[in-house]
Amino acid sequence: MAQDKYFLARDLAREALTALLVDGKTKASGREMLDWVRTNKPEDVQEVERSWSSFLTTMVSDAESSVTREPNQYGFMLRQADPEPQVEPQLQAITTDPTQVVKRVQREKRLYSLLVEWLRSWGYQAEDTSQRKKGGPWGNPDIVGIRTHEGLGGSLHLELASIEAKISEYDWRRLFFEAVSHKRFADRAYFSFAFGTNQPTIAKLPELDMLREYGEKYRVGILVVFMEPGLHQKLVSSQEEEIPEISLDMVRVEEVWPAVYEPVPLSMRERFLREVLEIGDLKGLHTYGD
């Protein structure tokens, strides 16, 4: 069923882009595409709108989808012949001290839903777990994903992934260890931060080599949520009510360093599932993230 919905979304995305990319328009946002579907394919929209952002993320990696993202840009386009080379715009990094921003945690919440969708696009059942408080100090990840696999004989194998999200790269060397602490119960752990730039490319991140050294040494994945500078400025410094909702199709989530899969002891994973996520049976496991 999920695969059928993806194929439907893929067809609708192609139709939307074909209709929208006219009169010199070269790209369209995920929101523009979904609005087109709502207007022109109302009979199909309910089947795809809940997972639209994660479907788009999957399409970009699907060679048969014809949907791609313009290199180092934010919009979606139809895959075509090699585009004309473009002059690289200057990187505009915004580094803000989040300790000086009122209600920093509330700002971080703007990142949670899109990172939940990012994990779902990789096959995890995922949800925002930031409000759970039973894990003790540094034991309550912002987002947790669960991936299940049924083995021969009906045995069930679980994989847990955690993400810790920050609104900027400020003080990342200290905050990084919040993600490291999650490795005691998560099989994969990610540290993530938002970064504002007109050109979302990993190569131009400040301290890129150091980020990768930390990722390699502590075996933690590093995700960067690239977004346009104006949007990032609102995230870190505007009044809370002025910060718009941010969806996966408005940004680019890129891996600076992959999260190494390291199975944790069964007792640690079981304790986290029961005490922090409050999953006590198979029904709770299978409905997690719904």
Q: Is the entire prediction scored with pTM above 0.85? A: no
Write the single-letter amino acid at 213: E
Write the single-letter amino acid at 153: G
Region 90-114: mean pLDDT is 63
Q: Which of 123, 130, 4 is nearest to 54 (CA)?
A: 123
pLDDT in tens, 73-96: 888 888 764 444 343 333 334 444
Q: Which of 185, 178, 272, 249 is nearest to 218 (CA)?
A: 178
Query: If you average pLDDT over every residue of the chain, what do you get?
Result: 86
Do 179 and 217 form a contact (C-beta atoms < 8 A)? no
pLDDT in tens, 160-217: 999 999 999 988 999 999 999 999 999 999 999 999 999 899 988 989 999 999 999 9
Q: Which of 40, 57, 47, 60 is nearest to 9 (CA)?
A: 47
238 has a pLDDT exceeding 50? yes
Write the single-letter amino acid at 212: R
pLDDT confidence of residue 154: 67
pLDDT confidence of residue 194: 96
175 membership: H or E segment, kind and range: helix 172-181
Sign of CA dihedral 116, 208, 107, 136: positive
- Mean pLDDT is lowest, of 5-9, 113-117, 250-254, for 5-9
Neighbour-count burial of 273, counting CB atoms closer than 10 A to its CB (0-12 exposed, 13-18 middle, 19+ buried): buried
| 3-state DSSP assignment of residue 256 | strand
| Torsion on CA atoms 179, 133, 120, 244, rounded to nearest 10 | -90
Confidence of residue 153 (pLDDT cuts 50, 70, 90): low
- Crossing angle of helices 30-40/52-61, nearest 10°? 120
pLDDT in tens, 27-42: 899 999 999 999 999 9
Q: Which of 115, 241, 254, 266 is nearest to 187 (CA)?
A: 266
pLDDT in tens, 258-286: 999 999 999 999 999 999 999 989 898 98
In the structure encoding, which two tokens stand for residue 160, read together? 């847990």
CA-CA distance, 287 to 133, in Å (whole number)? Answer: 21
62 has a pLDDT exceeding 70? yes
Scan for tokens 């139809």, then name that residue.
78
